[in-house]
């Protein structure tokens, strides 16, 4: 007599998906700590430039290793222009704003606030991707924005912490910038590894010119700086993304790998405490829980709606 591997109506998730997502959570969860250490000696512009250099080189290496380098010549001229614009939002702009936030405000709170990109993606997807703003989505966004308010006010909800307002605004700006990148990359389906190369390369070139003109161009002067840029640019942005795409492609239910990503910001906070010795205020935990919880609301409701509609 044969016994089914899973209960009726349930789809078994391949072991490879769980392993890939475990690696993704570990890599993306520790990246913020590596970035914080690197920013002790490199400016946000300098660190962003070198990490995007490593990202471009790493993506090119992966393209060559997989025999896919010819994809780099497959884009038409208008697409190259679009890749450049998306690069400025999703890489140069996002990372410079995020790293500026890390340098000018408490890192745990800044890290939580930049995760508001999940909220802005939902909002921007309405006009750009023609997605419906369902009551569940709206409720999730409002809960998430309440979480951002908790962080901005230190839990008081009546007055913003003015001492760190510049950093907090940069963190929110980073969230908005990455959300713009995400929805337009989704709309134009420019999410291939070849596109990832151009995102890094364009940002690296622009930031190289800015630093050269301003006199801020320096070579990483220590193994720690080199290792930080390599980890952020290649390990996190390239290998992490490849693992994530593999998990999505191998899973019959994409809500599983997507749901597991909610652990990443909590791992980041834990790493700040363990490796950097930073004090994590209660408002950061509460704010993050509300932001993640808000997104979880509309993710679960959206999955249930699709199942009811037979999609």
| Residue 307 clears pLDDT 60, i.e. is over it | no
Select the more confidently predicted residue: 251 or 18: 18
CA 311/CA 304 separation, integer angstroms:
10
Question: What's the pLDDT band for 30 if we cut at 50, 70, 90?
Answer: very high
Give pLDDT, residue 27: 97
Q: Is the pLDDT of residue 155 over 90?
A: no
Residue 302: inside a domain = yes
- Report how far residue 96's alpha carbon sits from residue 101's, in angstroms, rounded to the nearest whole number: 9
Task: Check: CB of residue 140 under 8 Å from CB of residue 300.
Answer: no
pLDDT at 117 > cutoff 70? yes
The answer, yes or no, to whether residue 7 has pLDDT greater than 80, is: no
- Mean pLDDT along residues 4-23: 74
Q: Does the residue 39 lie in any domain?
A: yes
* Residue 306 pLDDT: 53
Q: Which residues contact 19 (CB under 8 A, 6 or more apart)?
A: none
Q: Is the pLDDT of residue 2 over 50?
A: no
Asked if pLDDT for residue 180 goes beyond 70, the answer is yes
Domain-located, residue 8: no
Say if 174 falls within a structural domain.
Answer: yes
Q: How far apart are CA 223 and CA 211, in angstroms?
A: 21
Assign 295 a pLDDT band (cuts: 50, 70, 90).
confident
* First-residue to last-residue Cα distance in the chain: 33
Whether 55 is covered by a domain: the verdict is yes
Average of per-residue pLDDT values in the chain: 90
Q: Please report the DSSP string for the chain in residue order.
A: ----SS-TT--PPPHHHHHHHHHHHHHHHHHHHHHHHHTTTS-HHHHHHHHHHHHHHHHHHHHHHTT-GGGGG-S-HHHHHHHHHHHIIIIIIHHHHHHHHHHHS-HHHHHHHHTTHHHHHHHHHHHHS-----HHHHHHHHHHHHHHHHHHTTT-SSS--GGGHHHHHHHHHHHHHHHHHHHHHHHHT--SHHHHHHHHHHHHHHHHHHHHHHT------SHHHHHHHHIIIIIIIIIHHHHHHHHHHH-S-THHHHHHGGGHHHHHHHHHHHHS-----HHHHHHHHHHHHHHHHHHHHHHHHHHHTT-
Non-local (6+) Cβ contacts of 227 within 8 A are 34
* 31-78 tens-digit pLDDT: 999 999 999 999 999 999 999 999 999 999 999 999 999 989 888 899
CA separation, residue 212 to residues 13, 92, 125, 219, 222 (Å): 49, 16, 37, 12, 20
Q: At residue 311, does pLDDT exceed 80? A: no
User: What tokens does 37 get?
Assistant: 């250490």
| Proportion of the chain above pLDDT 90, given as a percent | 73
For residue 5, pLDDT over 70 is answered with: no
Per-residue pLDDT, averaged over 195-203, amounts to 96
Query: What integer pLDDT is reported at residue 189 of this predicted model?
Result: 78
Residue numbers of the domain that contains 34: 15-308
Q: Give the integer Cα–Cα distance in Å for 47 and 37.
A: 11
Please state, in angstroms and rounded to a whole number, the distance separating the CA atoms of residues 154 and 165. 12
Confidence band for 200, pLDDT divided at 50, 70 and 90:
very high
Residue 300 has pLDDT above 80, yes or no: no
pTM for the full predicted model: 0.91
Is 3 contained in some domain?
A: no
Band (pLDDT 50/70/90 cuts) for residue 157 is confident
Domain count, the chain: 1
Q: Is residue 198 part of a domain?
A: yes
Model confidence at 3: pLDDT above 60? no
In a domain, 295, yes or no: yes
What pLDDT does 297 receive? 76
Q: Which two tokens stand for residue 35?
A: 């970035």
Q: What is the pLDDT of residue 1?
A: 42
Structure tokens at 266: 């909590």
For position 6, what pLDDT does the model report?
47
Quick one: average pLDDT of 87-91?
A: 97
Q: Give which of 247, 227, 228, 118 is closest to 183, Cα–Cα.
A: 118
Q: What is the model's pLDDT at position 4?
A: 46
- Region of poorest pLDDT, from 67-81, 204-218, 219-233, 246-260: 246-260
Average pLDDT on 173-191 reads 91
């Amino acid at each position: 007599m044969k016994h089914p591997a899973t209960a009726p109506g349930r789809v078994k998730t391949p072991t490879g998906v769980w392993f890939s997502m475990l690696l993704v959570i570990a890599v993306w969860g520790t990246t913020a700590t590596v970035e914080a250490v690197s920013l002790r000696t490199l400016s946000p512009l300098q660190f962003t430039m070198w990490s995007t250099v490593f990202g471009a080189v790493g993506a090119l290496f992966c393209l060559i290793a997989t025999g896919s380098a010819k994809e780099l010549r497959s884009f038409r001229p208008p697409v190259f222009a679009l890749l450049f614009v998306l690069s400025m939002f999703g890489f140069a702009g996002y990372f410079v704003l995020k790293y500026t936030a890390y340098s000018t405000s408490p890192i745990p709170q800044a890290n939580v606030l930049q995760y508001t990109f999940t909220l802005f993606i939902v909002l921007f997807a309405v006009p750009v991707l023609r997605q419906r703003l369902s009551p569940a989505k709206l409720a999730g966004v409002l809960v998430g924005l309440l979480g951002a308010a908790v962080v901005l006010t230190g839990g008081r909800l009546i007055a913003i912490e003015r001492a760190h307002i510049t950093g907090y605004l940069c963190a929110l700006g980073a969230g908005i910038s990455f959300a713009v990148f995400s929805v337009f990359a989704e709309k134009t389906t420019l999410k291939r590894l070849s596109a990832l190369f151009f995102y890094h390369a364009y940002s690296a070139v622009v930031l190289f010119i800015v630093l050269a003109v301003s006199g801020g161009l320096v070579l990483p002067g220590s193994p720690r700086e080199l290792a930080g840029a390599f980890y952020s640019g290649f390990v996190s942005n390239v290998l992490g993304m490849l693992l994530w795409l593999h998990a999505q492609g191998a899973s019959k239910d994409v809500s599983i790998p997507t749901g597991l990503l909610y652990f990443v910001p909590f791992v980041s906070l834990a790493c700040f405490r363990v490796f950097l010795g930073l004090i994590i205020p209660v408002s950061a935990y509460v704010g993050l829980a509300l932001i993640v919880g808000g997104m979880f609301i509309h993710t679960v409701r959206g999955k249930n709606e699709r199942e009811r509609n037979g999609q």
